[in-house]
Structure 1
């Protein structure tokens, strides 16, 4: 779909959606899903629009015909034909069964195509270097680790615009869902698993990030600001983070992982090497297999599992010593 027709279709779709929504809601904010700022969100919106148009081919005529039938065959209309013996029409049966079947087939083909194209673990095509961010869902905060830069943040995320970002996502809390609506769809964060999600911001700006899954009393506080900046500003931000007096140690992480009501955005200049892998394998038993979805190499997975098993053996020996 070229840019001009796509813009016209989106404008029409947004106008119809706005009118329909205004009948039900008032005081609504920004329609973030309908205002994509990245290639993944763009294609997801295309799928939404195509799906709504295809479904409207069935729904709109049905609603119109329903109104016409109710109006024409009302009790006070004496001009309507009276056919008590009428029971079947091959033409009408073909229309109201054939058209929906064709639309369902078309919709299925389009959905399968987009599903494979928008596979979260699939890297984005780009001539620019990819940025890796490891994400940990905690109660009730988000921890972001930048393994290549050796820095970390809580409840704030900064990425360079027009560069692909690879998110590796897990949880040290109940299952949650990581979502930046203007950049792409959500993906679950689960303990014992590492999920991959590739996104990109096409332009600089500040975007809304949130937890899209209920995880307890203060889950509504799990919102974070996504700052998409130029490469120069991104490098400047990295240096700012590296000069932060805050650091994450194994001990301070244990304190951080405890439930808190509201955590302010914070920068950390360092964190223990391999902490993400240890978080992923934290609740694994001996011999358990690490579940991943395109988020780590086989060597990294084996190393993380070996570390978890070694820690488990040390804990067992310590308990026996007592």
Structure 2
């Protein structure tokens, strides 16, 4: 029975209908940064095709021209060199590699995710308006967005105004993840205990897909969110609706939100506890846990001895506990030192006053240990307990033990 080629073609065309719902966001972005990345990708591909296409055509031509039945084709078994041919074979690819390297080097530096935007779009220059700052936390398995300029937060929902630069500051609560909005900007990693930055902008209103592009466990497939780009009035209305919600994202609420959960519906918070994002980065959201930056500052000044080895505890819902790893001898509950002994307490314990205790500490009121010096560094202001907004956790349990 003779096969019907028209039927095969019809089946092939019908199967393509299942791809009609796919969106080519990478090749048709609505953000200037993503558009520049698209252009870099297309130009690089075209440069490589200058070599690939002729090679593929020549493979077909040589196979046809030097077939066994073509007796007119010249046969030269002793031929081994041609200067002109060697020049073409090596010079053209070398020029392509040089052009591709220059294009990639310039493009990747101009599109550095840490570099602030130089323009709104190809037609619009950069305005003097302050960029919108969004603090992003990759949770298991959802995204948390904090707006420090407006004091609101949202889960699995990102709202931004059109034609306003957005500065993302990202971290993660437990494992490394990747933040990606194909229509807006490139991908950037979010890692626990670290902070990364991404700049982007939307040039058209709409609702776009955001996702986690790095596998992170059971709920990875549902770790998606909607990025809503609207005009300034629409964004202000979204902020007003979030403030009317009434819920506050404080430290206990964050720890509850940090618990692993899948396919979480979008929700908003009317207020956010100050310095919450800094605590997430420094792994000290839990009450009574010293911050990582403060511990590093203490280590820089000489350390805290044996007590410091137990002063940083793991997250209550860390990756080992929830994935069934054998529990440690001391259990999963975190434990840490709550204070350092004063000289008088040490003398009562050991009966001998150490020689170094005669030295007058530079600032004993800052930390609970009498012999510890004041911490410094990049986040020094956040750990100064003389300021009301300080977040230092090296505080005594009661006001009467300021030197303990």
Of 212-221 and 24-33, more deviation after overlay is shown by: 24-33
Answering whether residue 365 of structure 2 is matched by residue 311 of structure 1, we say no
For residues 33-112 of structure 1, the aligned pairs below 5 Å read: 33-112=26-105
- Structure 2: 5+ residue runs without aligned partners? 1-12, 119-125, 285-291, 299-375, 398-404
User: What's the secondary structure of 1:185's corresponding residue?
Assistant: coil
In the alignment, the residues of structure 1 paired with residue 195 and residue 18 of structure 2 have an alpha-carbon distance, to the nearest angstrom, of 38
Alignment RMSD: 2.5
Q: In the alignment, is the contact (CA less than 8 A) between 2:297 and 2:377 conserved in 1?
A: no
Determine which structure has the larger strand proportion and give its number: 1
Note if contact 2:158-2:228 (Cα within 8 Å) is conserved in structure 1: yes
Task: Give distance in 2, aligned partners of 1:310 and 1:85.
Answer: 82
Tell me, yes or no, if the aligned pair for 2:169 and 2:198 is still in contact at 8 Å.
yes
- Alignment match, 1:275: 276
Matched, 1:229 2:220: no
Instruction: Judge conservation of contact 2:138–2:171 (CA < 8 Å) in 1.
Output: yes
More moved, 209-218 vs 26-35: 26-35
Describe the SS at the equivalent of 1:235. Answer: helix
Q: Deviations over 1:56-97 (max 9, x none)?
A: 001000000011011111222222111111111111111111
Q: Find the partner of 1:27 among 18, 21, 29.
A: 18
Tell me which residue corresponds to 1:204.
Answer: 205
For residues 185-196 of structure 1, the aligned pairs below 5 Å read 185-196=186-197
Equivalent residue pairs, number: 285
Aligned to 1:101, the other structure's residue is in SS state helix
Residues 100-148 of structure 1: per-residue CA shift (max 9 Å, x gap): 1111111111111111111111112321331100000000000000001
The CA distance in 2 between the partners of 1:243 and 1:258, in whole Å, is: 25
In structure 2, relative to structure 1, the CA distance for the partners of 1:313 and 1:167 (3 Å cut) is: same
Q: 3-state DSSP class of the match of 1:311? A: coil
Q: TM-score, normalised by structure 2?
A: 0.66
Q: Which has the higher contact order (CA 8 A, sep 6+)?
A: 1
CA distance in 2, matches of 1:84, 1:268: 79
Contact 2:248 2:273 in 1 (8 A): no
Aligned residue in 2 for 1:136: 137
**Secondary structure at 2:99 match in 1:** helix
Once the two structures are TM-superposed, the CA of residue 36 in structure 1 deviates from its matched residue by: 1.4
Alpha-carbon distance in structure 2 between the residues aligned to 1:243 and 1:62: 64
CA distance in 1, matches of 2:17, 2:84: 44
- Offset of 1:247 from its aligned partner? 2.1
Q: Find the counterpart in structure 1 of residue 331 from structure 2.
A: none
Instruction: Name the CA shift for 1:205/1:314 in 2 (closer, same or farther; >3 Å).
Output: farther
Local SS of the residue matching 1:137: strand
CA distance in 2, matches of 1:26, 1:77: 44
Bigger helix share: 1
* TM-score normalised to structure 1 length: 0.83
